[in-house]
Structure 1
Amino acid sequence: MTSFAQQTLAGLRLLLVLTLVLGLAYPGAVWAVGRLVPDRADGSLVRLDGEVVGSALLGQVPPEGEGWFVPRPSAAGDGYDPLASGAGNLGPENEELFATVQERIDAVAAREGVDASAVPPDAVTASASGLDPHVSAAYAELQVPRVARERGLDEAEVRALVADATTGRSLGFLGEPGVSVLGLNLALAERGDAGEAGGGAGATG
């Protein structure tokens, strides 16, 4: 057998082995491990009455009406578009960004009935991905009076729901606690309060 033929057979054997290992065995092992945590492997889907209404990993357009918690702004596509994840890429001294943030401050302050100085940064700025599903505890707290008023609830009841939807720091020490807006709105939807029925917690963009 010539040297060329030997090299060809060796290459074919290597191709076969790598195809079996990297094309079948490795993907199969990853899939099997993923089945051990199916919720996360399937995208951490959130369901209401058996229907998928969103993902715990992605922010989304809030339902219509004043009786819901509002997420932070999004620069992903037309807003919360998982196919166009990204930030606005405008610098901190950009006049357009400054004007947009000021408009958002005024809008949030008017909606929540507070002074502009009380509006937290995440209420008026988009996250780097544009898909952050959480807001700060400060922004959630700012919205409690409005949601409670619109739904005819005691503020303490709404704050209890906020506490249930609050996650701690990553690994116990990274970042700050966050409040899942989708989880919070689902908790409100499950209550079925007559004070606010518009939209539905599963409204997406």
Structure 2
Amino acid sequence: MWIRQCTVAVAVLAAMTVILGIAYPAVVWGVSRLGTTSAEGSQVTDRNGCVVGSTLIGIDPQVAPGEPDRYLHARVLGSADDPMAPGDPAASAASNQGPNSEKLAGWITERRDLIATREGVAPDQVPADAVTGSGSGLDPQISEAYARLQVPRLARENGKSVEEIEQVISEHTAGRQLGFLGQARVNVLEVNLDLGLTAPGCD
């Protein structure tokens, strides 16, 4: 009787191991790759076939000193310790500063002045999403207002007309979700790829 029970137990263990430990994970893995690339992080490649980012994560292009600022900038991606830092997409973090925080108000003023100087406009023309981060701090899109604010600089630094840049932005602008939720939004990475962005150090 004891040997029989052990044999049945071992058989059930082996069967469950095959079903739940091998077959089920294999099916889930296979289904996750049917007609989508999201299982691999929704990777985006540049014209050289190199991975340059993800459709789900905002990346603010950083310009080396002395180099032209040729690309569209994303929302604030700075860390909680340094609101003006470019931020690390692999380490999203909130500042935990509330709407009555003097520190947050100072950060917003600093960001607004920086962006106004960069784009050659008055501080009151800088949209709210340009100086505030999203809930995740990793949004891949910006508002149409912030994108349009950057058009003159993009046209100048890329040697294109304002109309050409506006057309690129329009091609990568998504409308409201379901036609009434949220607002129109511009995908920063897609615009920058059209402007010639490539992955650094990838041949």
Q: TM-score range by the shorter chain?
A: 0.7 to 0.9
**Gap runs ≥5 in structure 2:** none
Which segment is superposed worse, 9-18 or 118-127?
Answer: 9-18
Distance change >3 Å, CA 81–CA 13, structure 1 → 2: farther
Q: Residue 70 of structure 2 is aligned with which of 67, 71, 81?
A: 67
- For the 8 Å contact 2:60–2:75, the answer to whether it is kept is no
Distance change >3 Å, CA 175–CA 25, structure 1 → 2: farther
Matched residues, percent identical? 45
> Residue 33 of structure 2: SS of its match in structure 1?
helix
Matches within 5 A, 1:12-31: 12=10, 15-31=13-29
Find the counterpart in structure 2 of residue 35 from structure 1. Answer: 33
Distance change >3 Å, CA 140–CA 95, structure 1 → 2: same
Deviation at 1:181, TM superposition (A): 0.8
Deviation at 1:146, TM superposition (A): 1.3
CA distance in 1, matches of 2:29, 2:115: 44
- For the 8 Å contact 2:59–2:89, the answer to whether it is kept is no
Equivalent position amino acid for 1:37 in 2: G
- For the 8 Å contact 2:112–2:131, the answer to whether it is kept is yes
Distance change >3 Å, CA 85–CA 149, structure 1 → 2: same
Q: Following superposition, which runs of at least 4 residues in structure 1 exceed 6 angstroms of deviation?
A: none
1:110 aligns with 2:117: yes
- For the 8 Å contact 2:142–2:188, the answer to whether it is kept is yes
Deviations for 1:86-116, whole angstroms, at most 9, x for unmatched residues? Answer: 3222111111111011100111112112222
How many residues align? The count is 192
Deviations for 1:9-39, whole angstroms, at most 9, x for unmatched residues? Answer: 6665554444333322221111111221342
Which segment is superposed worse, 107-116 or 34-43?
Answer: 34-43
Matches within 5 A, 1:89-128: 89-128=96-135
Deviations for 1:140-162, whole angstroms, at most 9, x for unmatched residues? Answer: 01111111122222111101000
Distance change >3 Å, CA 180–CA 21, structure 1 → 2: same
Larger helix fraction of residues: 1
CA distance in 1, matches of 2:25, 2:86: 34
> Residue 83 of structure 1: SS of its match in structure 2?
coil
Distance change >3 Å, CA 27–CA 50, structure 1 → 2: same
- For the 8 Å contact 1:63–1:202, the answer to whether it is kept is no
Task: Compute the RMSD of aligned alpha carbons.
Answer: 2.6
